[in-house]
Structure 1
Amino acid sequence: MDGKKDTRGLESNSLKDHDVNEGDMFEDPRLDKLWNKAKSSGKFSEEELLSLKREFQHHKEKLQEYNIMMDTVSRTEEIHKNEISPLQGDSKEHALHRKHTELKESMRSLNQGFERLRKLSHEGFSADSEFKEPRVIELWETARRANLSDDELESLKEELKHFETKVEKHQHYQEQLDLSHQKLKHVETLGDKEHIYRTKEKYNSLAEKTREMGYKMKKHMQDLTSKISRNARHHNEL
């Protein structure tokens, strides 16, 4: 592997919390206010605060995805307005309608997610919660609202347990990557080129592995989300 492989993009995404101000950690005033209130409430253990922080981080990522989607739709509308022709009109209108539907669903999910964060911040974690990881909890709660049969829910619960193991493994790798990044920064201050090269090799290898796991985890989550949606539509049609 090339020790000089450029991972600046990865670092800027996954490690940016090292450089961010604690007061605006989540880049959204409502989230920051809720987080600071929960953190200073004294009702969460250190472990629970870490779990809560992951919940907030997940919501921040969903907000970013929504903003990207909204920007894409706006630019698409502008392009269609300037280029529309009678032959293409219907297909473009259909595509835009689908995008607007996705936007509405995304906004609904964001509102539900924020309400869940607000409740968590005030009431704390439930002792009998089925899962711990934010993405898995969100999928499970979506499934429970989807009018699925008991057998389908039980089957999905097993799938989600396997998925949660993957999420936790990726979280572990992400933490190791953060530590590796800190070590690399320290080694670079020492000026030993050979040591820097070996440390950078290890960091790049770990970064690649973490990125690959993140991609597979995201794909798995999309598959589970699609499965829940299909099953929900099937029951609603019956």
Structure 2
Amino acid sequence: MKMLCWNYSLLIFCISCFLLLVLCQKEESIDKRKEDIRAARDKSTHQFRSVRVNQVWEKAQRIGKSPKELERLKVDLKKYDEKAYQLKKLERDGGDATGEQSEKMHKQLTEIMKKHNIVPKDKPNKQTPTKDKPFDDKRLNELWKKTIDAQHFDDSEVKLMKQQLKIHQEKINQYQELVDDLYGENSHPAAVQAKRNNAVDKDEFQAREMDLKLQHKRLNKDFQALNVKTIPEEERGGFNEPRIINFWKDAQKTNFTEEELISLKEELRHFEGKLMKYDTMQEEAMHAERTYKKKKMNGEKVDMKKHTAMREKVKDIGNTVKKFFTSMKEKISSRKQQHNEL
């Protein structure tokens, strides 16, 4: 009996040792894969000035392009990056008002990606363009309808607006390519979370997600700027922020007195300044988050306290912004209800 127990204990011990060995080898395999990924990544991750060009470069590395293929791609991207930098300077100085050069640049980057087999060469449209719905994106088609229905646009302004909407559609397409590249075509929350959990290099995955968040924020900001253009000047009340413009338009449909409207307008003007400052801070914080994750990913030293402090500051201001929106919405809604009752 004792011998049987001893043999049983020995068997359990052997099985435990075997399982431990398998787990250790699996851990070593995962670590080695992480090391291989990081070794394959260029030491200077940010090869180019443009964030979008860097994303294309990093994707080419991830999908396993050979050194010769990467070298040929780098030549094309460097030329493009310089042109993109010059265009950015031109736009800052008020140039390319029609957006024609910007559209050409977006198309050129897509062509470079197709040439080097980084995106499918023939990606079908989501829908067949029509005169009333010339874009793939639903919101852009709605904005186009507002444009052609607007009384304050002449023919040249309608043409310019269509050009700018086409550029925005190209930006959306490039953004969607990045989303598909990171998450696959199934972007259901459960599938996305599974991708996060199963990522070999979680730091890299998080850094790429931050790139997407930044790009999405810029897309939304650009869309809102286009949306404001469809609103006649006299209805904007001198405001530029879409949410503030909507507050002002709603306020004028209530029973506010002239004096109260003047006071409200000043309050909205003051808050618009704060809101724009908050949006800038939020974007800066996202850039900082991205830099933090990139440094962490590359094994560089990071200041956790500084990073956390900035994030908390932006969060506090965000809470103040939310409170103002809630308060202003209730204030205008209550007066609107009184007005309707009368």
TM-score (norm: length of structure 2):
0.34
| Structure with bigger RCO (C-alpha 8 Å, 6+ apart) | 1
TM-score (norm: length of structure 1):
0.47
